[in-house]
Amino acid sequence: MSAALTNTIKSEVGREGILDAAASLFRQRGYGAVSLRSIAQAAGIKAGSIYYHFASKDEIVTEILNAGILAVHAEVVAAVDAVPAWESADVIVRAALRGHLRTLLEHGDYTSANVRIFGQVPLAVRDANLSARRGYEKYLDVLLSKLQADGAIRSDVNIGRFRLMLIGALNATLEWFDPAKGSAEELADDYADAFLYGILNQTGDSS
């Protein structure tokens, strides 16, 4: 019973190969345009073989969606933890936005697949992703609430609503982001400038 457990170095496709192929296809074509046969072909196997590793298409999608959220969540936590606690709200928020956009736009296909297909997936699959999403949302809410308690964020800002606005704006970049026109971090800095300071000229002069 140690056969496959000891030696998986061969040219096997396996769970990971299927998930990688599926995530890549979901990212670039959306949910409805990706069949099990297209996943199988991209992975280098036949459609029926998928059922050796997964019980259903929903199971594949569920796994990809969850991995996508866990990836951003972990990356943002790491990015925020990397900045000293005494740093300004500007630096902290900027680190979070950088982490989010880096994962979404430049690292792997799981987070981008999640953002792309979440709204197209069967209800049961969406529900299976809510727990992971709530975890990430909760983390952001706590982070932002601390900054508000410190007085860095205006007290009249509704944190929950701002978090929705933030995530919505960030995730929407997936539709038009072009790596040839600038990195994800440059984009994150632009977004941070707008969200933190607004776009209006606030030099008290009204010429």
Structure tokens at 35: 């069949």
Q: Which residue has the tokens 């074509």?
A: 29
Interface mask toward DNA for 50-69; x: CB under 7 A: xxxx-xxxx-----------
CA angle 42, 71, 44 (to 5 degrees): 10
**DSSP assignments along 159-189, one per residue:** HHHHHHHHHHHHHHGGGT--GGG--HHHHHH
Tokens coding 65: 């969606």
Q: Rounded CA gap, 203 and 168, in Å?
A: 30
In whole angstroms, the minimum distance from the beta carbon of 45 to DNA comes to: 3
State the Cα–Cα distance between residues 73 and 96, nearest whole angstrom: 10
Contact segment (CB under 7 A) with DNA among 1-9, 19-27, 164-172, 191-199 equals 1-9
Which listed range, 14-22, 39-47, 94-102, 170-178, lies at the site for a second copy (CB under 8 A)? 170-178
* CA 44, chain centre distance (Å): 27
Q: Is 142 in the site for a second copy (CB under 8 A)?
A: no
- Locate 113 and state its tokens: 């697949």
Residue 171 CB, nearest approach to DNA (Å): 24
Q: Where are the alpha helices (DSSP H) in 35-122?
A: 36-43, 50-53, 57-81, 89-105, 110-117
Question: Residue 154 interacts with DNA (CB under 7 A)?
Answer: no
| Partner from DNA, a second copy, none contacting 180, C-beta within 5 to 8 A by type | none
**Residues 127-146: x where in contact with DNA by CB under 7 A, - otherwise, as a string:** --------------------
User: In the stretch 15-44, what mask flags binding to DNA with x, by CB under 7 A?
Assistant: --x----------------xxxxx-x---x
Q: Is residue 85 left, alpha or beta, with left meaning phi > 0 and alpha meaning psi from -120 to 50?
A: alpha
For a second copy, the closer CB: 102 or 116: 116
- The nearest distance, CB 65 to DNA, in angstroms, is 15
Binding site residues, DNA, CB under 7 A: 1-4, 6-8, 10, 12-14, 17, 34-38, 40, 44-53, 55-58
Binding site residues, a second copy, CB under 8 A: 30-32, 89-90, 116, 119-120, 151-154, 156-158, 161-162, 164-165, 167-169, 171-173, 175-176, 187, 190-191, 193-202, 207
